Amino acid sequence: MTRILHTQQERTDLPLTVMPCVVDDMIEPFMQHFDMLRDVTRLRMYTDTTLDPQEIIRRCEGADAVIVIGVHITDELYEALTSHVKLFVFGGTGVASYIDLPRAERDGVGVCNVRHYGDAAVAEFAVALMMELSRHVGELNTQVRNGDWHGLFGTELNNKTLGILGFGGIGQTVARIAHGFGMNVRVWNSHVHADSLDGIELVDSMADLVAGSDIVSVHLPLTDETRGIITDDVLSKLRSGTMFINTARAEVIAHGALERRLMRGDILAGLDVFEEEPLPADSPLRTMPGVILTPHVAWRADGAYASMTEQIMRALVSFFEGGDYNRVV
């Protein structure tokens, strides 16, 4: 049953903020920051995960601001909501894949995101995918529970070469963890200068980085410049046995390119993000051997939640007080 949580419900003189849906384990972290909104905005928070567009429109009726958790603001939603909504606050960093930012800018609709909230969480998850592909802990657990003591051969990460595509907060955190494993780290990112890297090889060509790596981990933001930047040609450089990890955005890979490369059957992959989410039942990825699939959960961890929820509340307060905290548009 859906609960509706209210703050300052009686303060009809205050602007209204609506959270039309939320992940269940985020409710308590949000509640811990409710006091930040005192005398600034009312909040109406729905405690389920509905993604039905018409229901979201109904729930957001009269809202001045909307907190967006996992919802794509389609053209239909945008047109319905922006008749009254002045601000969207997203519980994530890469908002370009969730809302038409140029349109929002033209229309004067504010958009905020959260920043660096999940650097540790996503980096650790990327490494967890590497560990699962190399040491098969989940599969071994299933074996033992099924009475099988056969075991599986593993691959060490020590002395392997990790190629990182994108070197923002998450990529840098992955590099630090990788150094702890004794891995050799190479980075491709046109915005990073060699003198800012400690013990890391900077590679000018993405194709060269991919060709020379035992593991490739993607940590690029989704922008107009990065959309489709990982092409069929780049992926063709992956050597047999290479692990390909993506906890960033699926759209930074050219449409269909990863599936085409995986169909050759000679590389492994750990994927937490997909062009269409939830992953369709008929997706060829579901039946490919050597591919680990997770439901876009790399960011879902206690520390990330604490930072995300606080930043969302700060963005709301800032907006209603005339500031621009975490404003993207």
Catalytic residue positions? 249, 277, 296
Contact of 176 with 217, CB cutoff 8 Å: no
Q: Tokens in use for 61?
A: 């009726």
Give 159-210 as a DSSP string: TPEEEEE--SHHHHHHHHHHHHTT-EEEEE-TT--GGG-SS-EE-S-HHHHH
Give rounded-to-5 percent helix, strand, coil for the chain: 35, 15, 45
Distance CA 8, CA 44 (A): 9
Q: Tokens in use for 15?
A: 């602007």
| Strand ranges in the chain using DSSP code E only, listed in sequence order | 4-7, 16-19, 42-46, 65-68, 87-90, 110-112, 161-165, 184-188, 201-202, 215-218, 243-246, 268-271, 291-293
Task: Residue 52: name the closest of 35, 81, 72, 37 by CA.
Answer: 72
Q: Tokens in use for 216?
A: 């490739």
Distance CA 200, CA 197 (A): 6
Burial class (CB in 10 A: 0-12, 13-18, 19+), 118: buried
Distance CA 73, CA 107 (A): 15
Q: Which residues, at least 6 apart from 190, have a Cβ–Cβ distance to it below 8 Å?
A: none
